Amino acid sequence: MLENLPHKFREYGLDADVRTLLVLRKAMQKGLVKTLGDLYNVLKGIVVKEPSMLGPYTRAYYQYFLNIDIQNGDRLDDAIERSETFQNWLEDVFEKDPKLRELDMEELVNMFLDQVHLTTYDIKEVISGKDIFDKDDPSLSDDDASSDLGPSKNVLDEMADYSDLSLEELLERMEEVLKNQKGKHTGGSHWIGTGGISPYGHGGAAKNGIRVGGTGGGKMARRVIGDRNYYPVDLDSLLNDNNVDAALASLNGIIEDSAHDKLDVENTIKKGLKRGGLFIPELQNIKEEKLQVMLLIDNGGYSMSGYIRIVQELFRKMKTRFAHDLKVFYFHNIIYDEIYTDAKRTKSMSIKRFLKHDPNYKVFIIGDAAMSPYELNKWSIETLQAMDKKFKNLVWLNPEPYRYWASTYSTQVIRKLVDMYQLTPRGIEKAVKDMNRKVI
């Protein structure tokens, strides 16, 4: 079945051979591959050796296993929409729940992606959501919510499947629960909150439930609701688990259009025949979307430790959603004459080499910009100036609250060298809008 998989990977410039199949077989024998999401993650670990290979790997994977052809310049969403696989999936889900036809295409594609990337790491046991629903008391007082206390789990031991309930039943019940809910809840099976197996909330495991705010856990929501009345998302708060999806939505706007001419074979033949055999090439203008992003993360100090994971999560989602070029680098406090290609900062790349990248990259520097004044010396300042000159779209995202920026000398200096924004969904949105206003 998988004999020609290495050949497919090699078509996309990936290093793969029979050893790839042997390692994959061992992973299967050990029970590590039970879903398509497991397969995607395991093969990625085997084949992808450099961050730049993730885009080609994603294209090869979707082509081979899902028959989804991602062309140069395609967004993953666009390739999915036109694929026969997705159309067949739509027919199936619409047959099971006709109300899903009310969702827009973006929501449907996200549902499809969530199912494709579902892993057994998230889910250990499936229980009946209908049983939970039937036994649950919608009039429960918020003071009696002892079952919904406790920490949210990163690895969910159980999943509740609400497939046997209609969307109308779930929405009606959620409105009843909302009338009695006074605060936020974590875990459990009743309230609108985070974690757990409640059919409404986020960060938990509820197949065919309703995701309200935040990020998915089991990644199987039937409907996504972003209304602040259900679960408020603060666009001005620093990046966190609750608003990372809002930040991702802002980053969608950095895809820029490119255009080129392509030979229109059909038109060339048609008009050539009309001319009695005089074939003159007819060109067709093709508009493409491309995404080229470089991320430089300050991961060396204590002050940044609370933000590194969520920043990586945000851009990991970009990698999953967009089959384009995204590179990640690391530094400590400020950039001198080198950056690092690994999080441990053991593999360096000279700034001279870094500056050879395509000037059309969108570059995000993530750091608090607070450091000792001596670190802003001739070398670091010249490096930032060179980067700003090379990349027309270069911004600094600062996790420190804006009110503290004026009190830090280094922050004031860096702001004059590089456009600086807060590391919040609204700050990212403003950075993206300002990027898109710039011209070459």
Q: What is the pLDDT of residues 339-394, one digit of tens each?
A: 998 878 889 999 999 999 989 888 989 888 888 888 889 999 999 999 999 998 89
Neighbours of 393 (CB within 10 A): 22
Contact 125/158 with Cβ under 8 angstroms?
yes
Full-model pTM: 0.44
Tokens 């590391």 appear where? 423
- Domains in the chain: boundaries: 5-99, 126-232, 259-288, 291-437
For 167-183, what is the HEC assignment? HHHHHHHHHHHHHHCCC
- The mean predicted confidence, pLDDT, of the chain is 74
Residue 283 β-bridge partners: 263
Give the H/E segment covering residue 327.
strand 325-331
Q: Which amino acid is at 195?
A: G
Contact 311, 366 (CB under 8 A): yes
The residues with which 327 forms a beta bridge, in sequence order, are 294
DSSP percent split of the chain into helix, strand, coil, nearest 5: 45, 15, 40
Angle subtended by helix axes 105-116 and 84-96, to nearest 10: 100
Pick one of 3.40.1400, 3.30.70, 1.20.144, 3.40.50 as the CATH number of 291-437.
3.40.50
- For 137-146, what is the mean pLDDT? 67
Burial (Cβ within 10 Å: 0-12, 13-18, ≥19) of residue 48: middle
pLDDT-above-90 percentage for the chain: 12
* H-helix or E-strand spanning residue 247: helix 244-251
**Please, are residues 162 and 129 in contact by the beta-carbon 8 Å criterion?**
yes
